[in-house]
Each structure stands twice: as structure tokens, then as C-alpha cells.
Structure 1
Amino acid sequence: MKNNNQISRKLIYSIWSLVLLIGLVGCDSYKKDVHLFPAEEVPENLSAWNLLRLEKGVLFPAERALPYDLNTGLFTDYAHKFRTVWLPKGAFVTYGEEQFNYPVGTILSKTFYYPQESSGVVRRTDDFSADYVEGRFGQALDLNRVRLVETRLLIRRQENWQALPYVWNKEQTEATLEIAGDVKNFQLVGLNGQQENLSYVVPDANQCAGCHAEKFTDKAISPLGPKARHLNKDYPYGSGVENQLLFWQKAGYLRGLPDLKSLPRNANIYDATVSLEDRARAYLDINCGHCHNPTGPADTSGLMLHYGEIDWRKLGLCKPPIAAGTGSGGHLFAIVPGEPENSILNFRVESTAPGAMMPELGRSMVHTEGVELLKQWVSSLPGSCT
């Protein structure tokens, strides 16, 4: 009897030891850091980077991959976006008002997705409140409530940035590298029940570079969103709500941060407490400014829509187009004060016709809220072009 008890105790001890070992191995796997692949050896599967983790229907970032958001983001056919930044251990970002200096090895991720009904249809909405796991808002996406489409990576290499588009499979279990891009077809359902067909275009690597090349002369790509004016806002971290720039500094990710009160801050276009002009300029900055700036691909147009431009003529007020054509819609000036219906800027933002719509890439639908914002802004401008 005594021997049997000893054997039982040993057996139980062995089983518990095995369970503990498995648990420890699982914990080590969970805590394993991001795998930074060299430029010539990028993996086919997103999971190989270990940047975003899937577990029990939840998508969440690696331990040192910080989620972040922008005051106003680029419109992409109503897609929602989950962004993260990761730095190698000991590395840090150096502050710059117009452009941060990101260290070699930085990985920026942006996951595009849509809110999803239990029936499987995807919703057109600007409401993010139901996207995340309860109690983990801003930290972990609930895959029972969202439909993942793609995850784009920007990796800082020694000489330049590398853009990699990964497309999620139907099962929502893996994303695969698609250098040539892809097309996903959806039916978007609005709050009023109205349905719209959407052909969502995943850009190829060259198109990624086309938008991210703010300095058109050297074609070098750079991050567009994670800049001071876009990041200067609060975010709901697991430890509590805090200004993103201060949080990056506290986490050791950012150095050289000036006093917060002195930093630029783009408006949230949905914040009615902010002036109409600030909201309209913020919208133009993030959606158009990466091309329409003094060194961008649209520099020859003379139309400057980037943050900080103060010359109203360059902003388009009573400015005739450099080249006429279908892009002008038969109108004479970029902006006619008080007359959005006669302004080229409004015409191009409202159009979906190739050769006329702006931005040229990243959308196939009309952004109703953005169009209305720009209409109100142009309508509010005094003066005339006669």
C-alpha cells in the first residue's frame, strides 16, 4: 500500500512537472521578442515576424510593440486601422518637428480591417468602440467583431525604408506577403442599412513607395503618419490614458522631446470644438499633403496642401490649374471662396473617376464626411475670384 502511494505521488509530481514545463515553454514563446529579418530574407508569413500575435480570436501586439493612433488618419475606403511601432532593444527615436529620426531596425505596422456583423457583412462606420476586446480598448482586436484585410509593414533598413504588404486569409489565421498587391471584394453596410459594393485594393510595393516618397527627387520613402503633429494626442494604454509622445518618451522610445505645450497638433476632423479651418487643413494635410508639398510628387502643380502652408494662393485660393483637363472638371480655380461647386479641389475629392479623383491611390469610394467638411470650409471663405 505504501509503495502504491509513493508511486502515485511520483506520478502526480511528474505530471505536474510536465504541465509546469509546458507552461514555462508557452510563456517563453509568448515573451519571445520580434524577429527582425534582413531585407533580402523577408518571410512569406506575417506571423514569422512575431510582431502581432493571434490567440483565441484576439489579435494583439508583441510585448514591446506600442500601439498608437493619429489625430486624423488617411481615408482608406472606411477601413479601420490598428497601428504599432517597435524598436530594437536599446534603440530610440530622435524627435524632429517635421520628421522623426527612426533608428535602423524600426518596424511600423498598420493593420487594415472592417467592423463585422455576426452575419459576416462588414460595416461602414467611424465608430471604433466595438472593435476591441472588452476591457482592452486600443490594445487587442476582437476577431469576432472585425474582419482583417491587410497588414502593412515599414521597416527601417540601413539605407532606406522597406514596404511590405501582407494580406490576411479568409480564415483570419495568417497574412501572406503579396508584393504584387491584391483586391478584396466586400459589401459595406451603413448605419441606415444601405449597401455599397467595395473593391478594396491592396497596393503593391511600388505603389506603397509612390505615396511614401515625400521627397520626389530621391524617391526615398518615409513614414507619413507617426509625426509629432499627428501623434500629439491621448491614447488608452493598458496602464491608463496618456499622451502618446510622453508615453514614447517614458518607454525609452523617444528622445529630444520639447515641452508638450510647444508642439504642433493636427485637429481631429470629428471634433466640433475645433475650428472649421483647422479641421479642413488637418484633413488636407494627411490626405493630400504627402504629395502636395514643395518636394513631393505634386510639387509642379503649385498647389501646396501640407501642414504649415500659409500662402493662400498656394493653398488654392483663386489659383488656376497648371494643366487643364478632366482633372479640372471644367472649373477655373482650385478654390473659389464661397463656391465649392465651382472649385477644382472639391470636384476632385468628390470624384471616383480615374484621372480626376484625388487622392489617386488608397480609395475607390467617396468619403462623405470629408467631402462635407471641405464643402463647409470652402463655403465659409470670404471674397471672390472675379
Structure 2
Amino acid sequence: MRKIYWGAVLALMLAGCGAPREAVTIHERNAIPDNLSDWHVVEAIDGKLALNDRVTPYDLNTALFTDYAHKLRTVWMPEGSSAAYGEDDFDYPVGTIISKTFYYPLAADGSVLKTDDYSQDFAGSGLNLKKVKLIETRMLVKRADGWQALPYVWNEAQTDAVLEIAGDATRLQLASDDGSSEGFTYVVPDANQCSGCHADNHTQKATRPIGPRARHLNKDYAYQGGTENQLLYWQQVGYLSGLPELAQVPHNVSYSDTSVSLEERARSYLDINCGHCHNPKGAADTSGLMLYSAEHNMRRLGVCKPPVAAGTGSGDRLFAIVPGSPDASILNFRVESTDPGAMMPELGRSLVHKEGTELLKEWIATMPGNCS
């Protein structure tokens, strides 16, 4: 009778279907790995950027502009833990890992594409590495003493990303559908800059997530098992507790959704791109210009408001917003600038977001009144 060596059989079976992935690993603050793959959150495996078990993708109603980069956002929480709902902030459990991978769709000549089409990006819930170029993955890790920001930069072979505390810069050629292209430098912020942007409470100076908040997450997402509201999905998988009825949850809109009002679109755009600094507790609190979603005082929103300090950042214009006159408004000057001494936001972009600036122009052009 022939002997069966079950160890050898098991080894062959594993080799045939791929070895099981290691679980998501939480590394201590003082023992951060050099390679992104050591976290086992998102990894380049078999031609795709694969998400590990319980690593959940998500999206935002309107996203922060970053040189036309596409973004794959994920959240993971330790088994048995969940975030507690809050209208302005969620209380995330210790051990939460939030990742954001910045990438571009690839053109046939190796340049990167300027496009709003995400349809070719995905392989399952991850990314198809034959179709995209990975640039960086930013991690936010919730520690007992607060959040830690970690920037990882993808290597040329697209096999792994390496920790770059000092940031990085990559020269890219951005191709448009009309055949035009432009070169630009994509800048990966250093760890301190990441923490600075995420410290939207200037007094506490504590890093925390900006995007995954109720008003930004309150939208449908096309999961592998079907389309569902993200907040309800987080509740179902155990990632969110205390969620009220959806009708009571704030809701930003997509800045490109022309079925909603121009006011809603512009305010949502300003909220995600500017509101983390321009709020009563943010780094720009002394400016008196409040661009976050909860502001309803038109003067504080910038209408006929002079700058606190003049200079190159004002473009020699007198008011943040001049109703009916975007070309006389400081806000338009700053978002349309690429001068480091004038542009807003100050970090995270080298290019002008043409679609966003056109939206703000249209919004201000239709405002009634004047500043005389």
C-alpha cells in the first residue's frame, strides 16, 4: 500500500492556490518598517495592488485635489473594535489604519493620464498594476497617544513602497484626452507636513483624519458585493457604532454634480480643499476667513472681507470675494496660482485644478451685490 505524505500534499496545494496572506500587522511607533508591504494592508501581489482581509475601500463626495492623481482610500480596524459616530469627527479605535494610495492611469507611451475615468483602474477591490502607475501611499495609524502619519513612496518596479520621512519629488508628464500634455513635479510631503495638514485644530495640534468624516462619507460606493451607502456599510461590517438615521447625517455633494446648486458644489469644494485650515480652530484661524462647511456668515466666508495681511498672496486685490467679480477676488487669485508664496492650498499640488477654479469663478460671478 502506497504511503501518502500529507505534508507534501499540503505544500503542493498551497503552492497551487497561493500561500495565505499574512494578517494586517500593527507596528509600534518606534519600530516603523521601511517597506509598506510589512504592514500587509495593501500589497502588490500577482499584478494588482491587493487589499487584505477586512481592509475596506471608501470614497469621498468631493476629494482634495492633488495634481489630478487618482486615489484608493482604505480603512482597517482591529477585530471587535469600531469607530464611534460623531457629526464632525469619528472617534476611531486605537489600532485603526487609514491608507491613501495616490496613482495615475497609464498612457500607452508611459506618461500618466489626466482623466476622471476610474473604470480601468480596478482589479476587484484593488488596482490593476498593468493600467496604473503607483506614486505614494500615505498611512495614518491610530496610537494610544494619537495619530501617526507615514509617507511611503513606490519604487520604479512597482513592487513595494519605501518609507520616506523626508518626502520625495517625481517628475511626470501628464497627458490629456485632447492630445496635449504638460510636465510637472509631483511632490510627496514629508511626515511633518502630513501631520501639519491633518492638525485641523491649531490649538491642540493633534493629527487626525480629514476625509473619513460623516459629511464626506455619506454617499454610495460600488463594493464587490453591490452598491451601498458607505456609512451603512461601515455599520454592517462593525466599523461604525452610533450611526443615526441617514436623514440626520450631514452630506456634502460632488463638486462636479450639476444636478445640485452651484452654491452647494462650491461650498463642498472649499470645505475639503480649504476647510481643514480655514476654520475657527485651524491653522488659518487668524486670517478670519472661514471656508469650512458650517460657516454661514458671508463676511467670514470672504465676501467683501479684506485680508488680514496684504502682500504677494493678495495679488493686489482688495477683498477675498468680490460678488460678481472673480477676477477681483483674492480667493480666485490664490487657487489659480502656482507661486509657492501665493498659492492655496500651500501644499499638495503643483498644478492648477482647472475644473475647480472654473467652478469657483462661476460661483462668485453669480453672487449678487458689490463691495463699494
The two structures have a TM-score, normalised by structure 1, of 0.94
Distance 1:30 1:311 in 2: 55
CA 1:186/1:320 → structure 2, altered by over 3 Å: closer, same or farther?
same
CA deviation after TM superposition for structure 1 residue 28, in Å: 9.0
CA deviation after TM superposition for structure 1 residue 307, in Å: 1.0
Q: Is the counterpart of residue 78 in structure 1 residue 68 in structure 2?
A: yes
Aligned length: 372
Distance 1:304 1:24 in 2: 57
Deviations 1:140-178 (A, max 9, x none): 200000000000000000111000000000000010000
Q: 1:317 aligns with which of 296, 300, 303?
A: 303
Aligned to 2:233: 247
CA deviation after TM superposition for structure 1 residue 30, in Å: 2.8
Aligned to 1:126: 116
Q: How does 1:1-386 map to 2 (within 5 A)?
A: 10=3, 13-14=4-5, 18-24=8-14, 29-133=19-123, 136=124, 139-386=125-372
Structure 2 stretches of 5 or more lacking a match? none
Contact map agreement 1:47 1:175 (CA 8 A) in 2: yes
Deviations 1:45-97 (A, max 9, x none): 00000111322211121111100000010000001000100001111100000
CA deviation after TM superposition for structure 1 residue 20, in Å: 3.0
CA 1:22/1:90 → structure 2, altered by over 3 Å: closer, same or farther?
farther
Structure 1 stretches of 5 or more lacking a match? 1-5
User: What is the RMSD of the two structures over their aligned residues, measured on CA atoms?
Assistant: 1.5
Moved more, 55-64 or 256-265: 55-64
After TM superposition, the runs of 4+ consecutive aligned structure 1 residues lying more than 2 A away are 16-32
CA 1:35/1:22 → structure 2, altered by over 3 Å: closer, same or farther?
farther
- Which letter maps to 2:355? E
CA deviation after TM superposition for structure 1 residue 17, in Å: 5.8
Deviations 1:165-217 (A, max 9, x none): 00000000010000000001100001111111110000000100110010112
- Which letter maps to 1:259? E
Deviations 1:218-277 (A, max 9, x none): 211110000000000011111100000000000011000000111111110111111110
Distance 1:26 1:222 in 2: 43
The two structures have a TM-score, normalised by structure 2, of 0.97
